[in-house]
Structure 1
Amino acid sequence: MSRSSKTKQMIGALEYGNLPQLGITNLVMRVDTGAATSSLHVDNIEEFEQDGARWIRFDIHPDIHDVARTVRCESKVLSQKKIKSSTADRQRRYVISTKLEMGSRSWKIKLTLTDRSEMTYLMLLGRQAMNGKFYVDPEYEFILRSK
């Protein structure tokens, strides 16, 4: 067992997370070791320029049980990326960087923004965001608790 593996925590198939820079707390995320990149469901993406850089505005519905509640967010665009979706469609998605908090940990992750309205969970946590931090036991759910 390597030194880094001793610092890894166990997480389940579903976990709570916070995206504090986007004003989102206690977001239920589906943990997906089959997905390289994390993705977040957003609506109404608008691109704009700020200080010579490309930015976007978008809406998030942080509570799947209250879709009337919307949070309007802004973020600098890191890039756009072609992603093969779960339905094998190729999509061009915006990529942003934001802080993720899970349990006692906090770190920056890259997120692709997409329409996940047909999916059960608004956020999918992919391998790149979990790398070096967690082991996944899909038998369990909500092992960690957010701050």
Structure 2
Amino acid sequence: MRPRPLIAAMPWLLASLLISGCALTPQVEPEPVLSPDAFDARIDRLEQTMALRCDQTEDRLSRHDLRQIEMMADVRDASALLQQLRGSIQRLEQRGEEPVIVMAECNEEANASLGDKALVGRAEWIGLPDIGTYLRARIDSGANTSSLSAKDITRFERDGEDWVRFRLGITDDDIVVDKVRNEWIEAPVERRVRIVQAAGSESRPVVSLLMTLGSIREPVEFTLNDRTHLNFPVLLGRRFLMDIALIDVAETYLHPRPEFPGGRPAAEAEQDELNDQEEEDR
């Protein structure tokens, strides 16, 4: 019997597959060798990426620290208010009187509180009668404490109390009563606050100054720091706004500029306000 053709050809097929197997094995490309310049460029890119990530992390930590400081200040304020309430209750109990609980309709109370508040824009003119000038102010509910631009801040003692002497931190473009531009201002220090920023932390004095804004006439606590690199020499924070004002962010200068001896009339403020709007739009 003759062998079948396929069986007879098997040895030749196996030999052919073994020989061609090497050609079927995938070839692994060796990694290209980086030149010194390419290696340095890659290291530079990695360093820049790491530096950027470090800056972003530091910025987030700084914002977290600022928020924590603001929250601690709010807690201290709430604690002080609670202590005052407890003191009032104790005095009533010592006199044999019972605290009176007044029940009111929530809606009526809310409407009444809203009706008593002044409406302000995101920028307003304020007056500082203790200093004798008007200044432009930015209204910012995101800031806890109000701030006044000051320079040459010098600490001294008067009658055993902590005082500061300073001048307004203003530029040639800031609108102010000219005679107070370089005047020294003295005020007692109410307290000090520590401000944490990306560049580090610093302690700033807080002074109380009488301030006017439209019909509002209130003593306001200002931290003193140099704001000449910012557009507004005054910032009004939520401690000022609380219980007395509401912000309409779509409006600016809803209230007239106050007038002071040596200053310009309120009627001339419109052009200054237009210039301010042009700067904001740029």
TM-score (norm 1): 0.88
Q: Aligned match of 2:153 in 45, 49, 54? A: 45
Distance in 1 between the 2:193 and 2:160 partners? 21
Higher helix share: 2
Alignment CA distance shift 1:84-1:6 (3 Å): farther
After superposition, the CA RMSD in angstroms is 2.1
Distance in 2 between the 1:88 and 1:105 partners? 36
The range that moved more, 116-125 or 54-63, is 54-63
> Tell me, what secondary structure is at the counterpart of 2:184?
strand
Higher strand share: 1
Task: Give the percent of matched residue pairs that are identical in Structure 1 and Structure 2.
Answer: 31
Corresponding position: 1:7 with 2:131: no
Distance in 2 between the 1:132 and 1:61 partners? 29
Amino acid at match of 2:234: M
* Structure-2 residue corresponding to 1:77: 189
The range that moved more, 89-98 or 58-67, is 58-67
Q: Between Structure 1 and Structure 2, whose CA radius of gyration is higher? A: 2
Unaligned residue ranges in structure 2 (runs of 5+)? 1-109, 259-282
Corresponding position: 1:121 with 2:232: yes
Distance in 1 between the 2:154 and 2:123 partners? 30
Q: How many residues align?
A: 145
TM-score (norm 2): 0.48
Amino acid at match of 2:223: T
* Structure-2 residue corresponding to 1:139: 250
Alignment CA distance shift 1:131-1:88 (3 Å): farther
Unaligned residue ranges in structure 1 (runs of 5+)? none
State whether residues 141 and 237 of structure 2, in contact with CA within 8 Å, keep that contact through their aligned partners in structure 1.
Answer: yes
State whether residues 101 and 146 of structure 1, in contact with CA within 8 Å, keep that contact through their aligned partners in structure 2.
Answer: no
Q: Which has the higher contact order (CA 8 A, sep 6+)?
A: 1
The CA deviation at 1:104 is 1.6
